[in-house]
Structure 1
Amino acid sequence: MKGNLHIEKKLVECITDNKEAFYRLAYSYVKNENDAVDILQDSIQKAISSKRHIKNEQYIKSWFYRIVVNTSLDFLKKQKKLMFVDEEALESYADGVENQYSNIDLERALESLSLKYRSVIILRYFEDLKIEEVAEILNENPNTIKTRLTKALKLLRIQMA
């Protein structure tokens, strides 16, 4: 029981310390302020109810990233639609951080990518995660992520040209 409380405390601490990054990740999938907040709330609920599955607290952050990604993908499957970027909403949640999506051409190019390519770009470059972390979050082999990243960058270059 004591270990469970410790894990829950670490989980809450992780979510609190990284809430803007988790929000940006959810927002990058759904492109809607309210939906991103709903996804975060659902993700927090799922994480707290599944905290017993955390075996090593050093993986809490990537474990929660995976929950946010999966919850976002589930939302998109239910909605079966993509929404346009509301740049003002994104800026309001950046909390003083420079808007990483300010280049409209890059935004459009990212939107043209399939989710599997967009996910690796967002997690690797916008969330500044290591290849191994991206692989863990997306539940893929690191070599698969490297291949997807190379392909995604190639597709982005074509779109931007």
Structure 2
Amino acid sequence: MQNMEQEVNLARQGDREAFIRLFRKLEPELYSLARTIVRRDEDCADALQETTLKVYQSLHTLRKPQYFKTWVIRILINECNQLLRNRSRTVAMPDVPERGTGDRYYENSSKLDLIEAVNQLDESLRIVVHLFYFQDLSVKQIADVLDISGGSVRARLHRARGILAETVKSTRGGKLAYDNI
């Protein structure tokens, strides 16, 4: 974590290479989170681009470098939500299902079962599960990012685990691949 803080401090002082290194390090996690929320590759790319721009422009406002990752995640979630709001205002042609570049992080088929089950969750549960299990954020960090209480985060995690357990029982006889996600 100290390395990230040093990179953030360098980026805040105007080091563009440090900023690029920070985003390259976070890009797979950010893309995965954006994909969880907006579900379309082109929207993920738009959300990441807007997030990168906003973070770069307002990096000087970040008070504590150790919170850089959660700060960026909060900006990304806001951008994804804005895209969803804009999407709901437009009438679109039906999407043709395709296996795009977003699947490159999940090429191992044993991981797909759990990821598909998580993707079936309601958005509020799906985001909390993703942040807790895939992004390794603490309950407090998730509460800060989503601007909800720690108790709400724990309740959503509990509810999501229950739904996932029922999904496992009904679809695979209690056997769901979840190793090495």
CA distance in 1, matches of 2:110, 2:79: 23
The residue matched to 1:68 in structure 2 has which SS?
helix
Distance 1:62 1:7, change over 3 A: farther
Please state how far the C-alpha of 1:100 moved relative to its aligned partner: 8.2
List gaps (5 residues or longer) in structure 2: 1-8, 171-181
The residue matched to 2:63 in structure 1 has which SS?
coil
CA distance in 2, matches of 1:117, 1:57: 28
- Counterpart in the other structure of 2:3: none
Matched, 1:27 2:35: yes
Corresponding residue to 1:136 among 140, 144, 160: 144
CA contact (8 A) 1:14 1:61 kept: no
- Equivalent position amino acid for 2:12 in 1: H
User: Percentage identity across aligned positions?
Assistant: 22
Please state how far the C-alpha of 1:110 moved relative to its aligned partner: 2.9
Instruction: Return the TM-score normalized by structure 2.
Output: 0.71
- Counterpart in the other structure of 1:55: 63
- Counterpart in the other structure of 2:22: 14
- Counterpart in the other structure of 1:102: 112
CA distance in 1, matches of 2:128, 2:96: 20
What is the CA RMSD across the aligned residues, in angstroms?
2.9
- Equivalent position amino acid for 2:112 in 1: S
CA distance in 1, matches of 2:23, 2:13: 12
Corresponding residue to 1:75 among 53, 78, 83: 83
CA contact (8 A) 1:32 1:85 kept: no
CA distance in 1, matches of 2:44, 2:24: 16
- CA deviations over 1:125-146 (Å, ceiling 9, x no partner): 1222222222222122222211
CA contact (8 A) 1:39 1:71 kept: yes
Distance 1:124 1:7, change over 3 A: farther
Q: How many residues align?
A: 154
Please state how far the C-alpha of 1:118 moved relative to its aligned partner: 0.9
Structure scoring higher RCO (CA < 8 A, sep ≥ 6) equals 1
- CA deviations over 1:62-87 (Å, ceiling 9, x no partner): 10011111111111121129x78754
Distance 1:52 1:74, change over 3 A: same
Please state how far the C-alpha of 1:153 moved relative to its aligned partner: 1.5
- Equivalent position amino acid for 1:90 in 2: G
- Counterpart in the other structure of 1:149: 157
